[in-house]
């Protein structure tokens, strides 16, 4: 009877897990599609027919775009391309797609908030109806710098910069991009139902909407879960022979089958990015039900296999095991392959919690807004989203990432006189020799509380690696941040 009950419980738990995975995947697809927010957007398409868009400013008050007239919007030519796929095409052309800031803040920019909340009409001195204004946390100059830095050499890249103390998003760069003043250049496709949709990669901001395998950049997140489960795993020893075969016979290799030899602890393993050590730690965590539960919880809090919503921001959710929870897929996900996927923004947000003593401040794009010309500006409140791990665990992982900069693969991200914690990652494309390169860094400085994540896709491993390519670019971004 006990054996039968155990089998029934196992079936019951498996059924619940399957339903939750299906539900999570459905939510992911819904979010990735960029469907309108739960707010009633029916009126937005009506508002734009008789209301000129208000103004969009960056964090320093630089004008990004504004409505010259109803249906006619102009964009600052100095920043238009670098911000193009974040601002998005016109509301009607995008079909009220809320992955774009112009739509997400459309209820302010096209006057819906003013109509409902302020009670003011929107007529300006010329008798034209003008919507409200938004000021974003973005730094247009930083956005431009990163765009120019990358576009000259990399046709497929994205970057995200966050202030980990406040949650402010300073940059979301995606290459390629386009000029929103030239929407006619976008490639459109007419569907069978007669609806015209945008079919152009330039119109998608990859930093928030494209999922990629993170490679070894996921290891600090795995180790965070491991130390939450058992802090003594920090001192776990391991001998790397260049490959690791787990209990079910799946073999994972270190790059080039390189044998790292005896690794005295987790920090030394992270510094050299040993895949075998990561698999060994994963086996230690998943030996017990408690370990498996903690791993699932921590990864969920980091944004994997979950669906978090932040005001003013639409993004694709990360995946760790996804719908395929086979041992093989989970084995490869541990080293950032298999089913494991994350956006550039998602990695930056996850690292921001490690930088901020285990607390992830709620990432946000909206700094302030003004519902109409006669209303006061309303500042965005800084809110703490959630605690992902203990202060002690975050501090330990942060120290390990500093060692990556000092002794390991993150050396190209080092800055003289400043403390930088970092991690690199490389993921090999399926059925291809091309690679996805990652580099991310945390400035552990009170004056410069920034985290930078960078992804460069479709690279040639014969001449490019995560250190000499993505790492060097992150170094240049860090230098810009401390000098401006």
CATH at 333: 3.40.710.10
Most confident residue range from 50-59, 82-91, 350-359: 350-359
Contact call for residues 170 and 367 (beta carbons, < 8 A): no
What pLDDT is stored for residue 342 in this prediction? 96
d(CA 164, CA 348): 9
Per residue in 357-399, pLDDT tens?
999 999 999 999 998 877 788 898 877 678 999 999 999 999 9
The pLDDT score that the predictor gives to residue 94 is 67
pLDDT of residue 432: 76
| Beta carbons of 84 and 78 less than 8 angstroms apart | no
427 inside domain: yes
Query: Residues 50-73: what's their mean pLDDT?
Result: 92
Give the separation between CA 130 and CA 142, rounded to whole angstroms: 29
As a whole number of angstroms, the distance between CA 431 and CA 161 comes to 32
User: In the predicted model, what is the mean pLDDT of residues 273-290?
Assistant: 96
Nearest alpha-carbon partner for 413 in 385, 452, 362 = 452
Give the pLDDT score at 32: 37
Confidence band of 453 (pLDDT split at 50, 70, 90): very high
Q: Is residue 204 part of a domain?
A: no
Q: Does 473 score more than 70 pLDDT?
A: yes
**Residue written as tokens 């034209």?**
128
Among 411, 421, 415, residue whose Cα is nearest residue 482: 415
Check if the beta carbon of residue 80 is closer than 8 Å to that of residue 139: no
Q: Identify whether 150 is part of a domain.
A: no
Average pLDDT, the chain: 86
Angle at CA 43, nearest 5°, toward 37 and 49?
125
Work out the burial of residue 68: count CB atoms within 10 Å of its CB; fewer than 13 is exposed, 13-18 middle, 19 or more buried. exposed
Least confident of 87-91, 110-114, 201-205, 279-283: 110-114
More confident site: 237 or 40: 237
Who has greater pLDDT, 313 or 287? Answer: 287
Please report the pLDDT score of residue 105 as a whole number.
87
* Residues paired with residue 190 on neighbouring β-strands, in sequence order: 196
Residue 129 within a domain: no
* Tens of pLDDT, residues 67-106: 988 888 999 999 999 999 999 888 777 665 656 778 788 8
Q: Which two tokens stand for residue 312?
A: 């003013």
Query: Which residues fall within 8 angstroms of residue 421, CB to CB, at 6 or more apart?
Result: 354, 355, 398, 399, 401, 402, 404, 405, 441, 442, 444
The angle formed by the CA atoms of residues 456, 172 and 217, to the nearest 5 degrees, is: 45
User: pLDDT confidence of 462, banded at 50, 70, 90?
Assistant: confident
SS3 456: strand
Q: Is 312 left (phi over 0), alpha (psi -120 to 50) or beta?
A: left
The reply to whether 316 falls in a domain is yes
Report cis status (omega within 30 of 0) of the bond before 176: yes
Determine the structural domain holding residue 245 and report its residue range.
Answer: 215-364+384-483
What pLDDT, on the 0 to 100 scale, is given for residue 41? 54
Q: Residue 55: count other Cβ atoms within 10 Å of its Cβ.
A: 17
Token duo for residue 11? 């079936």
More confident residue, 91 or 417: 417
Tokens of 167: 């949650």
Whether 327 is in a domain gets the answer yes
pLDDT of residue 187: 87
Q: Which residue has the higher pLDDT, 2 or 161?
A: 161
pLDDT higher for 260 or 321? 260
Q: What percent of the chain has pLDDT over 70?
A: 86
> Is residue 310 exposed (0-12), middle (13-18) or buried (19+ Cβ within 10 Å)?
middle
- Domain count for the chain, please give it: 1
Residues contacting residue 3 through CB under 8 Å, at least 6 positions apart: none
| Residue 126 pLDDT | 54
Q: Name the residue with tokens 């965590």.
A: 285
> How much is the pLDDT for 78?
97
Region 326-354 average pLDDT: 93
Residue 4 confidence (pLDDT) above 50: no
Give the relative orientation of helices 219-229 and 344-355 as an angle to the nearest 10 degrees: 40
**Other beta carbons less than 10 A from residue 429's beta carbon:** 14
What pLDDT, on the 0 to 100 scale, is given for residue 121?
Answer: 53
254 assigned to some structural domain: yes
Q: What are phi and psi of 260, to 5 degrees?
A: -85, -5
pLDDT at 192 over 90: no
**b or e along 16-37 (b: 16 or more beta carbons within 10 Å of the residue's beta carbon)?**
eeeeebeebbeebeebbebbbb
Question: Is 73 inside any structural domain?
Answer: no
Residue 322 structure tokens: 């996804």
State yes or no: pLDDT of 14 exceeds 90: no
pLDDT of residue 430: 77
Angle 135-363-60 from CA coordinates, rounded to 5° = 30
Please give the DSSP secondary-structure letter assigned to residue 381: P
Pairing relation of β-strands 238-240 and 366-370? unpaired
* pLDDT band, residue 400 (cuts 50/70/90): very high
What's the rounded mean pLDDT across residues 121-131? 63
SS3 of residue 323 by DSSP: coil
Question: Is the confidence at residue 315, as pLDDT, over 90?
Answer: no
Alpha-carbon span 213 to 437, nearest angstrom: 9
Alpha helices in 236-288 (DSSP H): 266-272, 275-285
Q: State pLDDT tens for residues 135-182.
A: 999 999 999 999 999 999 999 999 999 999 999 999 999 999 999 998
> What pLDDT does residue 404 have?
98
């Amino acid at each position: 009877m006990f054996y039968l009950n155990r089998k029934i419980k196992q079936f019951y738990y498996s059924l619940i897990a399957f339903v939750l995975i299906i539900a999570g995947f459905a939510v992911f697809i819904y979010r990735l599609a960029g469907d309108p927010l739960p707010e009633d957007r029916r009126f937005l398409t009506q508002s734009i027919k008789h209301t000129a868009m208000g103004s969009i400013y960056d964090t320093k008050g630089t004008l990004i775009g504004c409505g010259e007239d109803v249906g006619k919007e102009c964009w600052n030519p100095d920043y238009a391309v670098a911000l193009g796929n974040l601002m998005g095409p016109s509301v009607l052309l995008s079909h009220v797609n809320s992955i774009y800031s112009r739509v997400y803040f459309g209820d302010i920019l096209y006057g819906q908030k003013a109509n409902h909340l302020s009670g003011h009409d929107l007529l300006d001195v010329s008798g034209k109806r003008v919507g409200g204004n938004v000021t974003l946390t973005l730094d247009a100059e930083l956005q431009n710098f990163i765009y120019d830095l990358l576009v000259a050499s990399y046709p497929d890249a994205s970057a995200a910069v966050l202030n980990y103390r406040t949650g402010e998003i300073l940059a979301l760069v995606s290459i390629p991009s386009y000029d929103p003043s030239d929407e006619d250049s976008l490639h459109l496709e007419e569907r069978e139902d007669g609806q015209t949709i945008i079919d152009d990669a330039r119109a998608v901001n990859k930093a928030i909407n494209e999922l990629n395998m993170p490679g070894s950049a996921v290891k600090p997140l795995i180790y965070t879960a491991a130390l939450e489960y058992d802090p003594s795993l920090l001192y776990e020893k391991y001998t790397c022979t260049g490959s690791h075969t787990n209990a079910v016979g799946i073999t994972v290799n270190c790059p080039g089958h390189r044998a790292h030899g005896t690794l005295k602890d987790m920090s030394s393993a992270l510094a050299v990015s040993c895949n075998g050590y990561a698999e060994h730690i994963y086996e230690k965590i998943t030996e017990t039900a408690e370990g498996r539960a903690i791993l699932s919880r921590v990864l969920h809090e980091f944004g994997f296999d979950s669906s978090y919503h932040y005001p003013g921001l639409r993004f694709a959710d990360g995946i760790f095991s996804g719908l395929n929870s086979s041992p093989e897929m989970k084995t490869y996900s541990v080293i950032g392959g298999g089913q494991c996927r994350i956006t550039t923004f998602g990695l930056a947000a996850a690292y921001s919690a490690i930088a901020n003593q285990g607390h992830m401040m709620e990432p946000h794009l909206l700094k302030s807004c003004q519902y109409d010309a006669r209303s006061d500006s309303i500042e965005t409140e800084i809110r703490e989203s959630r605690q992902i791990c203990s202060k002690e665990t975050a501090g330990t992982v942060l120290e390990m990432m500093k060692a990556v900069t000092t002794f390991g693969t993150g050396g190209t991200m080092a800055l003289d006189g400043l403390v930088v914690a970092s991690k690199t990652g490389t993921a090999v494309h399926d059925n291809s020799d091309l690679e996805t390169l990652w580099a991310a860094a945390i400035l552990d400085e009170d004056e410069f509380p920034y985290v930078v994540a960078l992804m460069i896709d479709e690279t040639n491993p014969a001449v490019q690696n995560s250190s000499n390519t993505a790492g060097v670019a992150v170094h240049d971004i860090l230098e810009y941040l401390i000098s401006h």
